[in-house]
Structure 1
């Protein structure tokens, strides 16, 4: 006697008490979570399938995760105004963990070029992270939790980003993908900022302002634009950075008029975003950035023209009152005023810090100053003394030893990269692209004296990625030569 087994599908499964009980239990759990946690849990359940699909895509193709990181990096801090109670910032860490896990498991089935990460730049990142790790045992440190939060942007993301660039994003086409993604994101950031200026903040942004951010973002009744970034200072610095990069790329773009026009538009709108942010220190980005670009050209006429243009800009802001009827120009002009009240307050704070730091060569510990200090050790001297600068923060938290090491590493990267661009590269395309990245980096380094933009999102990961691309210059040159050789041979056949 033959017994036929019929497979049961869909709603037929509910006739089985076991399946029905499981379904009811799941629904009760979901209902309970919705009642306790609110709408955020419901949204989480809706998003979960997409998250799982994204994680699966990362393990299949790790490059997807790195591109996703670039996108997430731009929007994450802005999203915290809309999504409460979820530590979205840790999503950056999750991306890195997933990327390295994906590479680890991928190595069981195919060769992963780990050896690509064996170079001096990764070594420098390890040294810097090692010093940051040492800060965990700094006897001056008050909070170890603050160390965890602070060291990520200061050192950990640098250590994670650079090797990933060398391992999975090391082709010239990857650099071009990076630049195009960045251009689109910079344009979106500026457009969001323009919406805030002419339409006003949305309800969630207004709630953020009302919660205390209006103290720094509404000056003399004027809104300092912050777009979907953490604050106006970061928005201004990031848009100035984008303006420099895409101005240089637009100038040198020869193959595509479409991209030349697009980069030019992105640059102009990014500079407009810088202006409406009301971030005076951001003006240092184009000044130092274009100065670096001019020096890299090694052309006497270009250098002279650049110096004259720079002097003209300086004279306009320093010695004239032209445009003072415009609030944006008037505020930018204060960046050139040595008697500005804000500057004097910053200098006074630095004098206080100088006395305090005299007996603390290794600083007060990572996370002891700035926002993390206010959150985890609010009653300490460093938490109550504003640093107002990336370098002053490094000095306060890691001492003169840490600041010296940090500057030594940065200037080594700049000098080594400049030497490669000027003396080693032959390709005009590479000279333009990598020269733009280096110019943007030096601009951010200059602006970081007045603002803490260097390690903040999205600028930090962009800068660390730029370092990796700069140190891949020789590989790109070989790659382009090989490509040109193949094209030449195909034409001769």
Structure 2
């Protein structure tokens, strides 16, 4: 008896990937196409060396290293997703230490390669798009299409502002489709969550370093590069800390979210030592968050815990909630000379805060504009891009100071309605999925992601919480995990029913 093994790509014809496998691994370039390819490469190397000398050799070496990396992102989405998350988390730190090149464009490139790999895999699987059919996908597509249509907004002052803003506002949500199609195992979900907690630990410890040791030379140069930076970050004789992120607000929000994850995991079923580790991590995250001096972040954890107590009601949760509430009341009212704790306390007394009163006045002032411009003033009309591309416009000087206000001003009341509809659908889907799921571990993950999305919605009122790296990347991962955990749970339930049916038929 003879056994014959077929190597993928050894047959004639087939997909582009199969042809490349055959050309390089089967034929080993011993074919007319291979010889022509080698001659072309030799000619390019000769011409490049003659014209550019050593520079071409360095570029060639870099190219040889980059090609496997590009291949890994396209053909191995698990690797590409991890690389994207790491890059998003430390993007601004790389810029501060002097890494050359447009790092933000690099993030766009990784996103594009992940989407390319997604399209290839869907095509190879017979163009089966059923994986994406759910209410969240529908509202995300509506939001994406509306943002694209904003390019034609007749009231927009600048199309270039749209070009720069669409990347972090809408294009980044395409990561949701990559995640929901590529993440197919509980093991990989665990890997991503562990990676997130580990990177958050690095960020928390680095904030401690900034607080008690000081800033690096690169960070000192950044802080003193513009008087406007000092006016925002130097308060009451104390520098607000930003750790590895772009600013203190982004840092604080990215400490609260993993804290919520830790609390949900602690409430689940796991070994005691793991719960102790998670409790320590949560303590580090929240204590380092105080160094940011961001008052808006202080209300996020209590708000998330309130929803947690409602969704996961039990005597144990009720006792924990009451203890946490008493601790919070004491912390809010206790006399202290600590500047960080004093700033924390002011978050719960907004009507006594001059900054909050000024924001309310600005929001009241812009309401007539929002009501008379259903599509708003165009993406990028406010903030830095507005000042750069439309410096003489009314909106360029308007400080939105809120994610919801920015949406209302730039995309009108239509855009605000669609944005709120999107968030409502995501939260509704997360709550419904949580109650339908059976697997304890997956239920915990789904609950954590739902609470984090809820916290981001609260955070988006006092600040812009969803347009900056890494929050925008992680947000759509968390949204995708709401559906992924439900899908994995349904598969487990179906498998359990099949096993039970099989065992029953054998007994009979």
- Range into which the TM-score falls when normalised by the shorter chain: 0.7 to 0.9
Deviation at 1:113, TM superposition (A): 5.3
- The match for 1:23 among 30, 33, 49 is 49
Distance in 1 separating the partners of 2:370 and 2:352: 26
> Deviation digits for residues 56-89 of structure 1, max 9, x if unmatched?
2223312211111111111112322233662211
> Deviation digits for residues 266-296 of structure 1, max 9, x if unmatched?
2111111211111110012202111111111
Query: 2:363 aligned with 1:350, yes or no?
Result: yes
CA contact (8 A) 1:253 1:259 kept: no
- The match for 1:277 among 289, 292, 295 is 292
Distance 1:273 1:48, change over 3 A: farther
- The match for 2:260 among 244, 250, 253 is 244
Distance in 2 separating the partners of 1:154 and 1:470: 21
Partner of 2:151: 136
- The match for 1:401 among 378, 400, 414 is 414
CA contact (8 A) 1:161 1:461 kept: yes
CA contact (8 A) 2:437 2:490 kept: no
- The match for 1:162 among 171, 176, 180 is 176
Matched position secondary structure for 1:211? coil
Report the TM-score, using the length of structure 2 for normalisation.
Answer: 0.83
5+ residue gaps, structure 2, are 1-41
Distance in 1 separating the partners of 2:126 and 2:285: 41
5+ residue gaps, structure 1, are 1-15, 32-41
Distance in 2 separating the partners of 1:408 and 1:281: 23
Partner of 1:211: 225
Deviation at 1:335, TM superposition (A): 1.1
Distance in 2 separating the partners of 1:419 and 1:107: 28
Aligned residues: 459
Partner of 2:451: 439
CA contact (8 A) 1:183 1:263 kept: no
Partner of 2:18: none
Distance 1:62 1:234, change over 3 A: same
Query: 2:80 aligned with 1:65, yes or no?
Result: yes
Query: 2:172 aligned with 1:172, yes or no?
Result: no
Partner of 1:429: 441
Distance in 2 separating the partners of 1:18 and 1:166: 41
> Deviation digits for residues 373-428 of structure 1, max 9, x if unmatched?
22222222222111111111111111122111111110121122112213x12222
Deviation at 1:20, TM superposition (A): 7.5
> Deviation digits for residues 201-249 of structure 1, max 9, x if unmatched?
1111111111122221111221111011110010011101111111221
Matched position secondary structure for 1:89? helix
Partner of 1:235: 251
CA RMSD of aligned residues (A): 2.9
> Deviation digits for residues 117-148 of structure 1, max 9, x if unmatched?
23322221110011111211111111111112
CA contact (8 A) 1:63 1:169 kept: yes
Matched position secondary structure for 1:310? helix
Partner of 1:35: none
The worse-fitting range, judged by mean Cα deviation, of 86-95 and 178-187 is 86-95
Distance 1:427 1:18, change over 3 A: closer
Distance in 2 separating the partners of 1:251 and 1:45: 53
Distance 1:113 1:54, change over 3 A: farther
Distance 1:449 1:107, change over 3 A: closer
CA contact (8 A) 1:280 1:331 kept: yes
Query: 2:107 aligned with 1:92, yes or no?
Result: yes
> Deviation digits for residues 318-364 of structure 1, max 9, x if unmatched?
xx242x21111011111122121111111121122123323212211
Query: 2:88 aligned with 1:76, yes or no?
Result: no
Deviation at 1:108, TM superposition (A): 6.5
The worse-fitting range, judged by mean Cα deviation, of 228-237 and 51-60 is 51-60
Q: How does 1:242-321 map to 2 (within 5 A)?
A: 242-254=258-270, 256-257=271-272, 259-299=274-314, 302-303=317-318, 306=321, 309-310=324-325, 313-314=328-329, 316-317=331-332, 320-321=333-334
Matched position secondary structure for 1:86? coil
Query: 2:404 aligned with 1:391, yes or no?
Result: yes
Distance in 2 separating the partners of 1:20 and 1:101: 32
Distance in 2 separating the partners of 1:94 and 1:387: 29
Partner of 1:455: 467
Distance 1:415 1:204, change over 3 A: same
